[in-house]
Amino acid sequence: MLLKFPKISEVKSHEITPENIYQGRRSFLQDSARIGAGMAVAAFGLQSPEGRAEAGSETKALENIIRAGTFDTDERPTSFKAITTYNNFYEFGTGKEDPARNAHSLQPRPWTVRVDGHVENPGDYDLDDLIRPHALQERIYRMRCVEAWSMVIPWVGIPLAEIIKKLGPTSKAKYILFETLKDRKQMPGQRRRVIPWPYTEGLRLDEAMNPLTLMAVGLYGRDLPNQNGAPMRLVVPWKYGFKGIKSIVRIKFVEHRPRNSWRVLAAKEYGFYANVNPEVDHPRWTQANERRIGEFRRRKTLMFNGYADEVAHLYSGMNLRKNF
Ligand code: MTE
């Protein structure tokens, strides 16, 4: 039997920021004016075809979003097209353009998430019952990939802490393991064992509870396009992009540090913590700078991707060269 939280559609307040408003009026970010969902969708719909991704253009506008402004960067968001056509999602191929081309086979609804391990409310949850609607927020985050490129993405989601509190981890729960769907029919890239399937990731419980950590269900005011991890993916903006596991079907509360796919494959290259750190190079390239998608000159990479004030305390006393 599926368990229930209140549904997304039960939310009343709303505010959406479409791409043309982000790009054209930066002052909007400081602006407290609210935009009706209908107007925002209309504005989005007027965009030129190249502003929309092929496979992503079918996504629905989300009706009810609160734009709290907390933690938003005022840097220029990357275009919707780049965010939805330059992806890493190996379940649909290893090329950057493969996910946009191939992810149409993923069926994001209905979607069930298994919650198990050391938790008071285990069970199989329908996605729409798991996401707490009153807390659906827009957050504009800098994102930094381990491959030394970066983007700015206007995510829509809810703080992961909200979900965790509702699920009620027991005192034994110290970490959370996340798992992506494993289904070769929906995810043709899984026919090749490029990484161990299903894709798995983990966070320490306090990292997961940090207010920055988001469970995203959308971007640019719309449902997540399949290639970005529909219907639900993790967003941890102070860590390298690979921690942002997509299309999650399992949340398991565990006592010991879980194994994650990239560490199983190459532990020397991809640490469990994966905090963005310009001082600790990847064995094969520098992490001191990055290429922002859409820009030519490289930027300096910031410690914890610029979120040190919010997260540095999580690692006090830890050697970040060892715990990379
Ligand atoms: N999640 C799954 N299931 N499979 C993947 O291959 N790639 C990761 C992460 N999550 C990946 C994944 C990597 S390496 C990155 S950089 C980000 O997703 C990319 O997210 P984006 O395509 O939305 O920018």
CATH code, domain carrying 289: 3.90.420.10
pTM for the full model?
A: 0.88
Q: Give yes or no for a contact between 177 and 200, defined as CB atoms under 8 angstroms apart.
A: yes
Place of tokens 């903006």: 237
Nearest CA to ligand 1 atom 24: 87
Place of tokens 């997304």: 8
What pLDDT is attached to residue 3?
A: 57
Average pLDDT over residues 41-70: 57
Compute, in angstroms, the gap from residue 240 CA to the centroid of ligand 1: 10
| Strand 222-223 to 214-219 pairing | antiparallel
Compute, in angstroms, the gap from residue 244 CA to the centroid of ligand 1: 6
CA distances, 194 to each of 64, 90, 91, 92, 280 (Å):
38, 8, 9, 11, 26
Per-chain mean pLDDT for the chain:
86
What pLDDT is attached to residue 136?
A: 87
**Cβ contacts of residue 240 below 8 Å, gap of 6+?**
144, 145, 146, 270, 274, 275, 276
How many folded domains does the chain comprise?
1
Band of residue 17 on the pLDDT scale cut at 50, 70, 90: low
Q: And the tokens for 292?
A: 């922002």
3-class DSSP state for residue 28?
helix
Ligand 1, residues at Cβ distance < 6 Å:
87-91, 145, 180, 199, 228-229, 241-242, 244-247
Chain centre to alpha carbon of residue 289: 22
Say if 7 falls within a structural domain: no
Compute, in angstroms, the gap from residue 205 CA to the centroid of ligand 1: 21
Say if 6 falls within a structural domain: no
Compute, in angstroms, the gap from residue 181 CA to the centroid of ligand 1: 13
Average pLDDT over residues 251-265: 96
Using alpha carbons, select from 76, 227, 215 the residue that is nearest to residue 153.
76
Domain that holds residue 48: 13-315
What pLDDT is attached to residue 18?
A: 56
Among 88, 180, 219, say which to mutate for ligand 1: greatest number of ligand atoms within 8 Å of CB. Answer: 88
Is pLDDT above 80 for 114?
A: yes
What pLDDT is attached to residue 64?
A: 80
Q: Give yes or no for a contact between 120 and 167, defined as CB atoms under 8 angstroms apart.
A: yes
Say if 106 falls within a structural domain: yes
Among 89, 263, 270, 287, say which to mutate for ligand 1: greatest number of ligand atoms within 8 Å of CB. Answer: 89
pLDDT digits 0-9 by tens, 67-76: 878 899 999 9
Q: And the tokens for 167?
A: 């699920």
Say if 215 falls within a structural domain: yes
Say if 218 falls within a structural domain: yes
What is the Cα–Cα distance from 103 to 79, expressed in whole angstroms?
Answer: 20
What pLDDT is attached to residue 42?
A: 31
